[in-house]
Structure 1
Amino acid sequence: MSATIFRNVHLLDLDRADGMTSITDVLILNGCIANVGDALTPPQGATIIDGKGDLLMPGLINAHFHSSVNHMKGRLASLPLELFMLYESPALEALRPTPREAYLRTMLGCIEMLRTGTTAVQDDCFFVPEPTPEIIDAICQAYADSGIRANIALDEPEMSEVEKLPFLGDLAPPEWREILTRRPKNSGGELLSLYHHLIDNWHGAGMGRIGAAVSCSAPQRVTPEYFAALDDLSRKHDLPVFAHMLETKLQRVLGHEKFGGRSLVRYTHDLGLLSDRMQVIHAIWVDGEDLDLIAAAGANVAHNPNSNLRLGSGLMPLREILDRGISVSLGVDEAIADDAVNMWSVMKTAGMIHTLSGHDPDRWPSARDVLQAATAGGGRAMRRHGLGTLEIGAPADVILVDLSTLAFLPLNDLVRQLVHVELGNSVRLTMVAGVVVAESGHVTSVDEKSLLAEAREMFRGKAAILERAAVEVAPLVPLYRAMHDKAVARDVGMTRNLSGGLV
């Protein structure tokens, strides 16, 4: 039996006016929160951690992430999503990673998250040029070794560029049509075989920390048959389903062009695939009918405000989502659409950007709304009971926040200062499943120093390859810009950016 007692800690309590309990003790047994109370008696051999009057709170949950570009921070200018993806994930053989490269780039994200108090992540992992069992294993092994809690899915499309994007077929010159109508290498059946590899080998690994999820990437990027097969896998194993929906105005236009006027949410509902297992990612260009469908299905929404700003995607209607009782989680999205893997930064943006949504301050999200999304909301998205809370029986994924740092000096309002002031520098200790994995700003579960040195050398050597890949895709940029411009000129009955006011 493994046992730890935190002595002399305040506990985060969003139901209290001051946001925290009085000083108390917390007992951790076998990876779960076992008891809370004063002067608890430790089991024999228990580890005692003196909280020194600091705050014990649930670890933050990065509920939407793409680890595949952890090594590309700062490489790209801000661009609309459809242009950005040309550089982010071109299916070029030159970009195929070795298993060690995949392991190291995944570990970069793990180290950054654990250092700053993110204890769990949902990785909607994409693969360039396509997934293989060896690369899947390397990614999962990194998560297992780091000590973080993770759900991993294979974000792989089946459809060609012309099939999944509007206007492109008509705009493309003849010399590009063969490439743009070519489907990805792996069929739906081959992707399902890779999912069986992921589930059979990794679901439940790491003493239950590592789990599988399924991903259609986005409804327009897969066939209905493969989408349904993923849903069957999800139902059989109770796995989250990841689906990017209505991230950009172009995706709203797509419904008019390819789905008979139906939005991607309505299309998914009509397929019978909108469920309480689904995470609707982004949900920016949604209307009231879309939100009613999401609420009725019990699906949850992943909000990625830093990424949305970086790519100019628009402002998600957060208040309308919360008003319908839809569970919201927060995510980084990816290291090149945020340029950090820091959930405190995501919370800070989420706590401020929605003041632009209207003039009624009573409708703006509170710091409590934001912190709830970054903890318990993420736990619900991961389908792990109690995750993101300090309930008895919940997984002991907790962080100790030093209340003597400048972020809390003076301590005026704990919850607001957690959301608006803290950036992860005050995290004294990170624990996942009852095991301390980071302390005093360093990850302790792996040899952090040697891994970072190896990654620095490896990715320095990849810079030239990334530059050549950018040159190779550059001729497509004017075509995709023309597609983007045609889509944004279309009136879709709403706006989610500042060019015409937010409606």
Structure 2
Amino acid sequence: MSATVFQNVRLLDLEHPDGMGAPCDLKIRDGRIAEISPSIAAQPTDNVVQGNGNLVMPGLINGHFHSAVNHMKGRLPSLPLEIFMLYECPELEVLRPTPREAYLRTMLGCIEMLRCGTTSVQDDCFFVPEPDPEIIDAVAQAYADSGIRARLALDQPELAELDKLPFLRDLVPDDLRPALASATGVPATRLLELYDYLIDRWHGAQDGRIKAAVSCSAPQRVSPDYFARLDDLSLRHDLPFYAHMLETRLQRVFGEECLNARSLVEYTHDLGLLSDRMNVIHAIWVSDRDLDLMAETGVSIAHNPNSNLRLGSGIMRWRDIHDRGIPVCLGIDEAIADDAINMWSVMKTAGVIHNLTEWDFERWPKAREVIRAATVGGGIAMREAGLGTLAIGAPADLMLIDLAALPYVPLNDLPRQLVHCELGQSVLLTMVAGKIVVQAGKLTTVSEADILVEATELFSQKKSAMDEADKRMARLLPYYREMYQKAGRYDLQMERRVPN
């Protein structure tokens, strides 16, 4: 494999007062950063990239994502999570995708991410109405073909709907209760077989660029036995473990009503399942006790500020989390809870939303902290040594940023301008594992034009099925609305939304 030499570039350096070091050359060999020097003599077989004094920085890491709804951006209005989920992923046969649909919707996300310099993604992928090997293959193949680095998990609840939510059992009428009281998903034994398939077929594929992860979806959505068996799988294969916790007020109420006044974090800790492999997703409605437990056990938190705002979930405790040394990564969540699959937008929101909940402005997020979360923090969550850095030996996942572009003219403070001014329009080149996958604004790995034409046609044909699913789920809306309102009236002595 030939090497690539970047000549005359500036490297992002968040420890440097200017945010970047002096001009240098950078050599990539065998998919990793091999050399950084003031001058590197390129060999005849080397691919030389003229940097022209522009910025090389680590690729952004989408630390939490659900690819299954990439084709649904803009489809839903802003709704609370528990009502939103009625329409997002109902387990209905009418929504079953073909393998080609699964491939194309995954590829849509890859194109959007790679164009803007996102080089890694953690896909907590759910499968409607159920996972099967063909669809798993289609999703993983899209990641393989696009050139992005990916972790893929099977986000499948196992319990009945009435077991996952407070109050609902007493709210739904008798004619609807039997269906909601029965587990409609795939049983745990089959899910574990599918995990074996995912790991055997895809873990370590593409020279390690495609790997597996595990997911319980959320602790209240699975049995303790399946939860523990997923943790064992995570431990045996050293896989990240994804778990949504305390995203909403209602989930905090669930702990009070259904877990003997324990939070979902406390419940998971009591099961012995908090660990440094776990990505706790959202972590908004958390107490000091929850944060202390997460700090003690080494979990990472996946922060999804755009999704949290879109769904009205609340605002995470950024400074309290950082003060405890809990690693934080940033995520999109999904294309109908953010709508743009753009990590720069996530960074911008993370850099400003917490200003509303901290009167002490010295505790507001710093631009360099936000960049670290989008890079280094993502590498920690993915359990990939060196990922998100420009260290010698680190994976060569990086981008070249045009410092002559409008977001940097004039250049006043590089880290702040990266967070507050950039939206991905200044990315000249994206590299993953030492391979240039985007150049001149286009993917080099696939034909974007052909994919977009095919996806437009295919998903326009899917609209009637999605409309039919919406109609079927709408009959539950009054009862979910009342559940949501009841949770809103519950006395929690905690607030994570900005008061009127």
**What TM-score, normalized by structure 1, do the two folds share?**
0.99
RMSD: 0.7
Letter of the 2:50 partner, please give it: D
Higher mean C-alpha displacement, 42-51 vs 101-110 = 42-51
User: Equivalent residue for 1:52?
Assistant: 52
User: How many Å separate the matches in 2 of 1:179 and 1:17?
Assistant: 60
- Give 1:70 shift: 0.2
User: How many Å separate the matches in 2 of 1:442 and 1:86?
Assistant: 36
User: Equivalent residue for 1:91?
Assistant: 91
Q: Which stretches in structure 1 are left out of the alignment for 5+ residues?
A: none
User: How many Å separate the matches in 2 of 1:35 and 1:415?
Assistant: 24
- Give 1:448 shift: 1.2
User: Equivalent residue for 1:196?
Assistant: 196
Contact 2:304 2:331 in 1 (8 A): yes
Matches within 5 A, 1:91-490: 91-490=91-490
Q: Give the secondary structure class of the aligned counterpart of 1:220.
A: helix
Number of residue pairs aligned between Structure 1 and Structure 2: 500
**What TM-score, normalized by structure 2, do the two folds share?**
0.99
Runs of 4+ in 1 over 6 A off after TM superposition: none
Contact 2:284 2:317 in 1 (8 A): yes
User: How many Å separate the matches in 1 of 2:17 and 2:355?
Assistant: 23
Letter of the 2:40 partner, please give it: L
User: How many Å separate the matches in 2 of 1:152 and 1:144?
Assistant: 11
Contact 1:8 1:53 in 2 (8 A): yes
- Give 1:440 shift: 1.5
- Give 1:264 shift: 0.3
User: How many Å separate the matches in 2 of 1:57 and 1:498?
Assistant: 35
- Give 1:2 shift: 2.7
User: How many Å separate the matches in 2 of 1:180 and 1:8?
Assistant: 62
User: How many Å separate the matches in 2 of 1:84 and 1:54?
Assistant: 42
User: How many Å separate the matches in 1 of 2:451 and 2:356?
Assistant: 42
Q: Which stretches in structure 2 are left out of the alignment for 5+ residues?
A: none
- Residues 105-162 of structure 1 show CA distances to partners (whole Å, capped at 9, x for unaligned) of 0000000000010000000000110101100000000000000000000000011110
Contact 1:269 1:293 in 2 (8 A): yes
Letter of the 2:10 partner, please give it: H
Letter of the 1:486 partner, please give it: K
Q: Give the secondary structure class of the aligned counterpart of 2:48.
A: strand
Letter of the 2:248 partner, please give it: T
User: How many Å separate the matches in 1 of 2:291 and 2:2?
Assistant: 44
- Residues 464-498 of structure 1 show CA distances to partners (whole Å, capped at 9, x for unaligned) of 11111111111111100000110111111110002
Q: Give the secondary structure class of the aligned counterpart of 2:254.
A: helix
Letter of the 2:146 partner, please give it: S
- Give 1:89 shift: 0.3
Q: Give the secondary structure class of the aligned counterpart of 1:473.
A: helix
Letter of the 1:300 partner, please give it: S
- Give 1:41 shift: 2.2
- Give 1:281 shift: 0.2
User: Equivalent residue for 1:3?
Assistant: 3
User: How many Å separate the matches in 2 of 1:300 and 1:281?
Assistant: 8
Q: Give the secondary structure class of the aligned counterpart of 1:183.
A: coil
Letter of the 1:490 partner, please give it: Y
User: How many Å separate the matches in 2 of 1:498 and 1:448?
Assistant: 41
Contact 2:156 2:185 in 1 (8 A): no
Q: Give the secondary structure class of the aligned counterpart of 1:136.
A: helix
User: How many Å separate the matches in 2 of 1:491 and 1:328?
Assistant: 29
User: How many Å separate the matches in 2 of 1:259 and 1:333?
Assistant: 26
- Give 1:185 shift: 3.2
Contact 2:67 2:109 in 1 (8 A): yes
User: How many Å separate the matches in 2 of 1:400 and 1:111?
Assistant: 17
User: How many Å separate the matches in 2 of 1:293 and 1:441?
Assistant: 44
Q: Give the secondary structure class of the aligned counterpart of 2:362.
A: helix
Q: Give the secondary structure class of the aligned counterpart of 1:105.
A: helix
- Give 1:44 shift: 4.3
Q: Give the secondary structure class of the aligned counterpart of 2:384.
A: coil
User: How many Å separate the matches in 1 of 2:271 and 2:289?
Assistant: 16
- Give 1:499 shift: 2.7
Contact 1:331 1:346 in 2 (8 A): yes
User: How many Å separate the matches in 1 of 2:4 and 2:394?
Assistant: 15
Contact 1:2 1:31 in 2 (8 A): no
User: How many Å separate the matches in 1 of 2:497 and 2:335?
Assistant: 23
Q: Give the secondary structure class of the aligned counterpart of 1:175.
A: coil
Q: Give the secondary structure class of the aligned counterpart of 2:34.
A: strand
User: How many Å separate the matches in 2 of 1:43 and 1:416?
Assistant: 37
